[in-house]
A and B are shown apart, each in its own frame.
Chain A
């Protein structure tokens, strides 16, 4: 693994963003030119054989997804690029686009060709003003150079690409909520089945792929599936851009083969825990994946190994917490995030995240009861796999995993009537704004609870 050559981040040393001249000079769009000479099914086969799995979190085999899109329904086929990257701790899509936007554009063009899709949409996270602007220019350049629009790369294959900016909702990263939003409706997830591959955007067959996933595609076409499958592990092939953040010396995106250990990422690439402190906890795949601890550091960062360790690879976003961090407060903040981002459609997520937020506020504010810990566990159980979409399952992860590994910290919040990691002054300040139990006058306005 030592001789791993960066793939997705190969152009990151250059002046950013890499515009089209530089991109072409460094071999860009060769893969597209090659792809359009192939049979579209051949391209799909190549991607299938490479073992590429979706990088958005679920890890579904990309080639199979493309295969499942029915090509002969008489309806248009759409490709929707999920660039609504909003998972706390995850920022690789953003940098991939900010630095090398044409890599994504080329991936979109090849995927569209394989799918017989003539209309692709990129759903850009609302807050991503700059990356959106970069991508907009890259798309314009690609049109001017004939890589998009009529007769892509002279092939006779036409492709229109439209960028659509979201309005700032985490839920719109959920693919069916994304489709609703793209169609101009409230961003709330849709009932499945039908699945988007069959009836997605405008009830037409739709492939929805993550930015990083598509960025891999030109390389697979150019170098072949065998080359790609040789990177990573047997079942988790290829390179991955890991976002490492939190209490590390050098937070950032680091590309490494799937299967690279967390220790290598944290202690190697990211320069170790900040200030030489001891690592307490980390997420392997963003805030929606259960926390792991120092004892799991040698876990390989691939789909199978992380799952075996009791968590999920998710987006490969490693958030590091050290010995100074309060796990109850960390869980509170994440729970607040999910309560704020819950779309409201289903009961367990809407009410459950709200409730857990309030329990956490009491624990942090010194008004916790010992039974609140089991209450949180049970509430988590009443939410997990019972909500409409996976957002709520993600919301449960930090709660149950932090209690599993750090129950003593929760108990300390109860016995010490407040957060042991805070000063007396901080605690008193917090207690003053903590919602009381029933029977106390004055409800806390929702805005205060959720922010």
Chain B
């Protein structure tokens, strides 16, 4: 998700190609080519320019609708609806071959990871580990981070878990639906959006961090120095 105003000019983007299975966009105004995953112009008059990221979540529709009942949803285009992916497309994607010049085998190439990039440091969290261990209290570079998987088992959010200058530890409140987290220091209760809803810290909001759900091969290609979270992996 990218803001489209670059150097005071609004750009209009088109799908224009593919680079090791991550697509290239072309802007109508200058004809420059942009890499989708990094938002960077890789060729053309704007080469080196970067799009400003608009933070986004990747959630199940049910979770999003509960949080944003007044929001709006993109309608399908009836002319091409037959060409949309089917409901089981994620399972099918697992069988699509991977073509890339980057061949790192630390994790399976199509392992679904939640990728976190923060001030030059990057770490990938396999979704199956997150779903089993959520919430995960971790550290990336100097930043204490918190990764939380929603009630649906698929939505994931990351937060900076610094509270009043100290790294807070979060636990899951047993049998709470929708899910509630509890911080160890104050016992306050927090919801999936990172807001304290009960206890001494009620009303406080954790700073959300951008997460990218991606395949390991793609994440690794664009974050070659990435770490891989594997605590508790078998």
Mutual binders A and B:
no
Chain A residues proximal to chain B, CB less than 8 Å? none
Chain B residues proximal to chain A, CB less than 8 Å? none
